[in-house]
Chains A and B, each alone.
Chain A
Amino acid sequence: MDKPETISAQQLGVLFFTFMTGSSIINIPAPLIGKADNGAILSLLISGAMGMALLGCMLYLHARFPAMSFVEYSRKLIGVWPTIIISVLPLSFMMHMLTAIVLDIGLFMRSSMLRETPIYAFTSLIYMVSALTVRAGLEVMARMFTIIMILVVLFVSSVLLLAMEDYNPGFLVPVMPEGIQPVLNGAFFTFGFPYAEVFLFAMLFHFVRKQSNKQANSGLNRHMFLSLLMNILTLCISTACTIMLFGPLAGIKKYSLYELARTVEVQEIITRIESVIGMSLIAGSYMKTTITLYVLCLYVTHLFKLKDYRTIVMPITLIAFLNTLVGFESDMQWVEIVSIVHPLWDTFAFAVPLLLLTVIAAFRKHTN
């Protein structure tokens, strides 16, 4: 590359929103409601607040080390070997994330649209497109995802609006039918997916174009927090809509937004619009896969001080694809991994190293 890639703070904000919302908007509501019932929204608010806290840590670290990625300032703060040691979990979890997102698309496609197609047909194609996008670079990603995200938001919000006539706000109360415990359980689940995953952007802050330092940082902070707020709002709305439509059934329906779209019928003109949601899910998951893959490659590149991340995109994609092939045994086992192991895993993989570094950085003020 002749010129280092840069994007604007706004573009990074859009990427962040895309990353946080892309696949979760369709995957989150059903299992969350299954765990927390009507307290789902509260769960989201709690885990969202925790996500905010993590984001705050990341932005603090970025303000301290403006031109560095997470790996680079970690190396500076705690040394080379400790960095490698604390990187084992994040790397493994990012690989798991890739597998999870892509597998979700495959499972969704198989369960809803193309029932007889083997899963690897979907996953391999998604991986291929993602890898090509990653190779195109962050600038292209930022440009492309803005367009896609606008379309996805448009689709989803129009579906939610069209389903309006079937909503029953009465389903929303009582807010906590079974006390605080299910709510905390839901918060734990949503912290694992998606809010602990904000960590990935600690690798991307340094791509933001710097005008004057102070101005750029405040712009970045504003955009990032705004994106996260929008994300929490979006997830809350889609969860609330699901509850209002299905009531007690909401937790059982898989891919609730898809099911929600199925019920839409305006006259006989607008019917069967669930395919639009299906497309949004594919697009959203594809974007999240791409960002995750990009960060994973960047992480490895920085960790081992490689020259260009592009050289390792294809091998890593292949490994992730193979992992997707062998990492899945049955739907039940997969749900268990995602809802129980997943939150615990990424708390240790993402949140703990981040907090550790923040504390160290706060105490060692002179290192810059």
Chain B
Amino acid sequence: MCPDTMGGTTPSSESTQAAAQPQLSGNQASNGNPQRPISDRLEANLSQLEQIFAKNSDIVFRHWSYGPDLRHTACSVYYETLMQGEIINYMKSSLQDLVTHEVGPGITITPEHVRSFFEHDGVSEKKAELLEDLDQAVDQITAGNIVIFFNQWNKALTYRSLTIESRPISEPANESVVQGPRESTVENLQKNIGLLRVRLNTPKFKTVSLTGGGETRTRVIYGYVEGAADPEMLKDFEKRITKISETEILETSYIEQLIEDSTWSPFPQHRYTERPDTAVAALLDGKIVILVQGTGSILLCPGLFTEFFQSSEDYYQRTIYSSMIRFLRMIAFALALTLPSIYIALSTFHTELIPTVLLLAVIDTREGIPLPAFFEALVMEFFFELLREAGVRLPKAIGATVSIVGALVVGEAAINAGIASPIMVIIVALTGIASFTIPQYNIAIALRILRFPLMVSASVMGGFGIMIVFLLILLHLCKLRSLGQPYLTPLAPLRMKEFRDVLVRAPLKTLLKHPRKHTPKG
């Protein structure tokens, strides 16, 4: 489907199809409901609709009279809450189309005029779609469109009229950069697609529109760049995405959970972004993007392990700086994962590995601490997690207070009270800070989860225990796939040619030489 039709739901294809069919035949109704043809008596239609929309305080039935002596009647039906922008009188504009001059209330028009004009696709300023089925009409109304019923006509007109206020495009809240564009996606699907398309001026950027199931009928659009995305991967993806027609989609993460390979893995297999430039870069790299109506987060899939260390700013800064920063992130990753467990292993089992002076310092600070190193670390980590969770959930204004109080109380007072050693506070704080340097929030969660089994094994078996858990994690990572691609690509399987954006960020000249991984062969 071409992107230009993405704005509409499905009316154009369905209604033209319906118009070509003889009335009262076939199952044109959406959802497979029994067909309910529109009656040519206005009252019959309205009474049915009133039943359906009972107790909908914001539904509007507006009655009109037109024609000679105002003998003919019509009625427009819409949700006033979904038409918050400029109110256009669609009734008037539909009649206006029929008269030669732009004057008057249309007193010469009869239902026959209306019928013949619209059924033969007469030229009009606002394009109306024809409906023959009451269920379709209901769908249109709930989708925010206006539907006009005419007496003595067994069809209805619908105009696309959804206007609902959305947040203006603002700076990204979660992925701020020093240099680079400052646009962020909003909760409006069309605006978001527009943000992408304005950066990707090619018809090769395909967007396919889908509708979720259940009561929400959320509109979902996935996009990819033809020639960049691996066709096999795309096929796999399309097979998985069909599941959404049975599910109510409220947020992009619903889709992630529907299509991911391994549900119980602590590692995220897809990336999110709210930056259109990041999404476009991913598209060029052969990824598939998924956008959902009503939410600003874009899902990028497949997400590979190394990509979670990349930030869009890496490409806006000079190579050497980006590479150093990436190196820093990797150290941070290792620290965030292992620091507490290494401390436990060293201080419990392998004291001989600590240089003597440092060892003395450590022993000195640990004197009088009632808990063994493992429990000390566990308690402190637990406090830290509590603080972090509290900080996330609280209103912004109080959040800052919590972190100050937390740092003071848990840090300072715990040391003074002799519950925790200063070195442990340093370690826990360092672990926390290290985990914040990773650009993608969702892989930091994996670290938070994996830190604890590492601590337990370190306290039981020392370095050997850490080693075993590491082997298990590595095994899991090697086994994991994202949309059928090995998660550790290009580390495992090792592909030296694709290493230009893993450890160091290669100069753009090299990076852009073969940006497409899956150029069509031949």
Interface residues of A (CB under 8 A from B): 8, 11, 109, 113-114, 117, 121-122, 125-126, 129, 132-133, 136, 140, 142-144, 146-148, 150, 268, 271-272, 275, 278-279, 282-283, 286
Contacts and interface: CB of A to CB of B under 8 A. Distances in A.
B355 A271 contact: yes
Interface string B490-504: 011110000000000
B475 interface: yes
Given A113-B350, A125-B461, A143 B471 contact: no
B468 A146 contact: no
B479 A148 contact: no
B468 A143 contact: no
B324 interface: no
Contacts of B349: 113-114
Interface of B: 349-350, 352-355, 461-464, 467-468, 471-472, 474-475, 478-479, 486, 488, 491-494
A143 B486 contact: yes
Given A146-B494, A147-B491, A122 B478 contact: no
A143 B488 contact: yes
Contacts of A286: 471
A297 to B, nearest CB: 17
B462 A146 contact: no
A340 B160 CA distance: 88
A283 B472 CA distance: 12
A146 B492 contact: yes
A283 B466 CA distance: 12
Nearest to B492: A143
B491 A279 contact: no
A121 B461 contact: yes
A113 B462 contact: yes
A133 B461 CA distance: 21
Given A113-B349, A272-B355, A144 B464 contact: no
Contacts of B494: 143, 146-147, 150
Q: Most chain-A CB neighbours within 10 Å: which of B350, B353, B472, B478?
A: B478
A136 B355 contact: no
20 contacts: A113-B462, A117-B461, A125-B464, A126-B468, A129-B471, A129-B475, A132-B475, A133-B471, A136-B475, A136-B479, A140-B475, A140-B479, A144-B478, A146-B494, A147-B478, A147-B488, A268-B355, A279-B467, A282-B464, A283-B471
Contact of B463 (A11, A143, A275): A275
Nearest to B357: A268
B462 A114 contact: yes
Given A143-B492, A144-B474, 8 more contacts: A113-B462, A121-B461, A125-B464, A142-B493, A146-B493, A268-B355, A275-B350, A283-B471
Interface centre among B461, B464, B474, by most chain A C-beta atoms within 10 angstroms, is B464
A113 B475 CA distance: 25
A140 B472 CA distance: 12
Contacts of B474: 144, 147-148
B461 A11 contact: no
A278 B463 contact: yes
A286 B475 CA distance: 12
Contacts of B472: 129, 132
A273 to B, nearest CB: 9
Contact of B493 (A143, A271, A272): A143
A142 B494 CA distance: 10
Nearest to B352: A272
B471 A113 contact: no
B408 to A, nearest CB: 35
A272 B353 CA distance: 6
Contact of A282 (B467, B475, B478): B467
Nearest to A274: B353
Given A109-B464, A114-B349, A125-B468, A144 B475 contact: yes
Nearest to B486: A143
Contacts of A114: 349, 461-462, 464
Contacts of A122: 464
Contacts of B492: 143-144, 146-147
Nearest to A272: B353
A126 B486 CA distance: 25
Instruction: Please name the 7 residue pairs, one residue from A and one from B, whose CB atoms are nearest each other, closest first.
Output: A143-B492, A144-B478, A143-B478, A272-B353, A140-B478, A146-B494, A136-B479
B464 A283 contact: no
A277 B486 CA distance: 30
A182 B349 CA distance: 41
Given A275-B353, A282-B464, A11 B471 contact: no
B267 to A, nearest CB: 15
A204 to B, nearest CB: 17
B90 to A, nearest CB: 55
A140 B353 CA distance: 34
Nearest to B346: A275
A282 B464 CA distance: 8
Given A272-B355, A275-B350, A275-B353, A283 B475 contact: no
Contacts of B493: 8, 11, 142-143, 146
B467 A283 contact: yes
A115 to B, nearest CB: 10
Contacts of B355: 268, 271-272
Contacts of A146: 492-494
A136 B353 CA distance: 35
A254 to B, nearest CB: 18
Contact of B464 (A113, A133, A142, A143): A113
B486 to A, nearest CB: 6
Q: Give the residue among A126, A129, A133, A143 with the most B Cβ atoms within 10 A.
A: A143
B453 to A, nearest CB: 13
Contacts of A113: 349-350, 462-464
Contacts of B475: 129, 132-133, 136, 140, 144
Contacts of A272: 352-355
Nearest to B462: A114
B194 to A, nearest CB: 41
